[in-house]
């Protein structure tokens, strides 16, 4: 759903740029409360993983494909504020290095793909978690539903922005119907990827998943046929250890998976246009599309310039993209974490569950 230059007029693009900048500023402040020494490295990895999976377009209909947007995945894993930053880092890397998504449309893309998807998905996720039974399956189920709804929400947001500042005269009702219809299907793919990823991380390190904080239930014993809560001190000694995978192992595994997905699996992704591209071509939205300012980039269109072999070119570009994104993302999140410590907000050294309940 990367919006290229020329779809939206300059005034509207400028307004969305202001909205995006404001949201990023708020998110930088909010992320200080979400990140700690354990989760800051995970946030950079989440950004790299989203970059990698976005290269894997999957077919959703005849001649149409879709790809992960990532807002729901990021929000549930590392928190909504940090999630907005994760997706924004990905969009920035894609726009600057790979000429994917217009530079003048960067505000539109951040508003649509980072802000809307994250806010909608996390709101739905939190609402479902409150009413579902406590447990890993509930976290996974809530993640699935939240991801499904986040994608058509982004389609609605784009339609609204296009209604205000579209550069072609197209019936907005037709645009809305086409956008929402195809992105409901894409949302199902998004939901599967999100639920599988969240479920996998929750299974090995629930303590690192923002949306699963407080998941562990009190240990209970049956006394005279009745279940009785074990006192906190005794429960701490007898409760099984939920996390058996070290953070370094989890991080290394996630990075390796991202590199394999971007460097190898991406070659087999669907070559069909994604939902927005297909709707734009069918409805005439793309009549005034402008050439990307970085079209001459050595990595434009996810290939390495002067590397003739398509498989090798795309694979190298994917690996470079993952590496660049994990470095850029990690730098941002470590800086946010260091700023939190420097500000002396009183949460350093406090457990994530305590911070969450404060």
Return the pLDDT at 351.
41
In CATH, what number is assigned to the domain containing residue 57?
1.10.1760.20
DSSP string, 311-333: HHHHHHHHHHHHHHHHHHHHHHH
Q: Where are the alpha helices (DSSP H) in the chain?
A: 10-34, 40-54, 71-78, 80-97, 106-109, 117-131, 136-165, 172-204, 232-238, 247-263, 275-283, 310-343, 352-357
Asked if residue 86 belongs to a domain, the reply is yes
Structure tokens at 274: 């994604």
Asked if residue 351 belongs to a domain, the reply is yes
What's the confidence (pLDDT) of residue 99? 96
Predicted confidence at residue 223, as pLDDT, reads 63
Please report the pLDDT score of residue 346 as a whole number.
43
Query: Higher confidence at residue 236 or residue 263?
Result: 263
What average pLDDT is seen over the chain?
89
Q: What is the pLDDT of residue 216?
A: 57
- The answer on pLDDT for 178 being more than 70 is yes
The DSSP letter of residue 301 is G
0.85 exceeded by pTM: yes
Handedness of CA 44, 24, 97, 63 (dihedral sign): positive
Mean pLDDT within 156-172: 95
Q: In this prediction, what percent of the chain has a pLDDT beyond 70?
A: 86
pLDDT at res. 226:
61
Q: State yes or no: pLDDT of 237 exceeds 50.
A: no
Whether residue 65 has pLDDT greater than 80: yes
Residue 238 lies in a domain: no
For residue 345, being part of any structural domain is answered with yes
Residue 348 has pLDDT above 60, yes or no: no
Q: What is the pLDDT of residues 254-280, one digit of tens each?
A: 999 999 999 999 999 999 999 999 999
Least confident stretch, 106-115, 136-145, 238-247:
238-247
Torsion of CA 291, 293, 298, 303, to 10 degrees: -40
Give the per-residue pLDDT at 199: 96
pLDDT higher than 50, residue 238: no
Whole-angstrom Cα distance, residue 47 to residue 90?
A: 6
Ranking 28-37, 168-177, 219-228, 256-265 by mean pLDDT, the lowest is 219-228
pLDDT band at residue 61 using 50, 70 and 90 as cut-offs:
confident
Is the residue at 239 inside a domain? no
User: pLDDT tens-digit profile of 315-337?
Assistant: 999 999 999 999 999 999 999 98
- How far apart, in whole angstroms, are the C-alpha atoms of residue 202 and residue 236? 20
Give the pLDDT of residue 234.
43
Residue recorded with tokens 């850029």: 328
Q: Is residue 352 part of a domain?
A: yes
Give the tens place of pLDDT for each residue, 4-58: 999 999 999 999 999 999 999 999 999 999 998 888 889 999 999 999 999 999 9
| Gap between the Cα atoms of 174 and 312, Å rounded | 40
Higher per-residue confidence, 63 vs 341: 63
Would 223 be classed as within a structural domain?
A: no
Please give the pLDDT value at position 213.
84
How many domains are contained in the chain?
A: 1
Please check the confidence at residue 236 and state whether its pLDDT lies above 50: no
Stretch 128-134: mean pLDDT:
93
What was the pLDDT predicted at 354?
39
Q: Which two tokens stand for residue 299?
A: 């990595």
pLDDT of residue 245: 80
Q: Are 110 and 1 in contact (CB under 8 A)?
A: no
How far apart CA 17 and CA 171 sit, in angstroms, is 25
How confident is residue 224, by pLDDT bands cut at 50, 70 and 90? low
Task: Please report whether residue 335 resides in a domain.
Answer: yes
Q: What integer pLDDT is reported at residue 349 of this predicted model?
A: 41
3-state helix, strand, coil in the chain (%, to 5): 70, 5, 25
Reference 123, options 146, 102, 106, 100; nearest CA is 146
What domain range includes position 271? Answer: 10-217+248-357
């Amino acid at each position: 759903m990367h919006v290229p230059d020329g779809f939206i007029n300059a005034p509207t693009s400028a307004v969305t740029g202001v909205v995006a900048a404001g949201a990023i500023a708020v998110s930088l402040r909010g992320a200080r409360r979400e990140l700690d020494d354990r989760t800051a490295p995970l946030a950079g990895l989440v950004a790299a993983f989203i970059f990698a999976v976005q290269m894997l377009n999957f077919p959703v209909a005849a001649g149409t494909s879709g790809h992960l947007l990532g807002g729901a995945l990021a929000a549930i894993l590392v928190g909504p504020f940090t999630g907005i930053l994760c997706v924004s880092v990905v969009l920035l890397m894609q726009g600057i290095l790979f000429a994917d998504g217009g530079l003048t449309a960067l505000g539109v893309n951040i508003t649509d793909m980072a802000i809307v998807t994250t806010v909608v998905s996390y709101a739905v996720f939190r609402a479902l978690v409150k009413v579902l039974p406590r447990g890993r399956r509930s976290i996974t189920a809530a993640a699935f539903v939240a991801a499904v709804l986040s994608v058509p929400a982004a389609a609605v947001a784009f339609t609204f922005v296009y209604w205000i500042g579209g550069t072609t005269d197209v019936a907005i009702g037709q645009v809305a119907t086409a956008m929402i219809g195809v992105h409901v299907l894409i949302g199902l793919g998004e939901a599967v990827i999100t639920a599988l990823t969240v479920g996998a991380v929750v299974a090995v390190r629930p303590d690192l998943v923002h949306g699963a904080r407080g998941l562990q239930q009190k240990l209970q014993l049956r006394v005279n046929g009745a279940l009785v809560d074990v006192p906190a001190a005794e429960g701490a000694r007898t409760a099984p250890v939920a996390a058996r995978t070290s953070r370094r192992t989890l991080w290394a595994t996630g990075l390796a998976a991202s590199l394999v997905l971007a460097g190898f699996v991406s070659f087999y992704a669907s070559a069909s246009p994604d939902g927005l591209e297909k709707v734009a071509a069918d409805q005439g939205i793309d009549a005034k599309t402008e050439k990307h300012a970085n079209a001459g980039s050595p990595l434009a269109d996810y290939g390495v310039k002067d590397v003739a072999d398509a498989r090798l070119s795309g694979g190298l570009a994917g690996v470079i993209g993952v590496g660049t994104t994990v470095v850029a993302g990690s730098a941002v999140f470590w800086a946010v974490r260091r700023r939190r410590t420097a500000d002396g907000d009183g949460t350093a050294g406090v457990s994530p569950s305590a911070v969450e309940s404060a």
